[in-house]
Amino acid sequence: MYLSTDNKAIIKIKKAKRGTLFFVENFVKIASAKTVNKALERMVITGDLQRLSKGIYYRPAKSKLIGELTPSIETVVSAIAKRDKARVAPTGAYALNRLGLTTQVPTNFVYLTDGSARKLIIGKNQITFKKTSPKNVAAVGEISSLAIQALKTIGKDNVSIHEIEHIQNLLKKEKYTRLEHDVRLAPAWIREIMLPILKQLENDY
């Protein structure tokens, strides 16, 4: 039985969990990018999909309390990194916010990447991917990676004792092997902040 591009896309999309992100590239085996784009836009009109940004769509997840849910920034960034086979690391005000060092929620989410530099507008927010060397996104620990980027943002001459103690307490929750790996990647002054925690975790490892 012949299936149109629209029907093939619908079948693929409805098999996915609600909240799943889709890129035009996900449908390259179905038809050309131009044809797929048109099919996806028609699905936006019918309500089967929502358009998140240029070339990025999602199947809406629903909540009984607030209705349709928009994918989080972390979900979008993770999907883009997976698609591009790139590594990313949150930096700047966003890294500080993730670690609880500031209550200010940024509208510009800045990530370092060893993939392509680009900017995306998601509603009122902007995601900025800044091209960097592979070493700067080689950290593997979620907490230790954020700690390195947050400390770089604050700066050696500006970081307070309170901020250092806060970060060290968070690092105690990091896996030993990941922290051991990431300590080697940190600048010397940040390494000095991380090493006491690594030694503590080493005793328990």
**Whether pLDDT at 3 is above 80:** no
pTM listed for this prediction: 0.85
**Full strand arrangement of the beta sheet holding 56-58:** 21-23, 56-58, 50-53
Domain 8-68 carries which CATH code? Answer: 1.10.10
Residue 49 and residue 70 in contact, taking contact as beta carbons nearer than 8 Å: no
6-67-69 Cα angle (round to 5): 65
Banded model confidence at residue 1, pLDDT cuts 50, 70, 90: very low
Q: What is the pLDDT of residues 106-135, one digit of tens each?
A: 899 999 999 999 999 998 899 999 999 999
**Domain map of the chain by residue range?**
8-68, 73-204
Q: How many CB atoms lie within 10 A of CB 30?
A: 18
Residue 190 and residue 148 in contact, taking contact as beta carbons nearer than 8 Å: yes
Q: Mapped to the 3 state alphabet, what secondary structure does 113-147 carry?
A: ECCCCEEEEECCEEEEEEECCHHHHCCCCHHHHHH
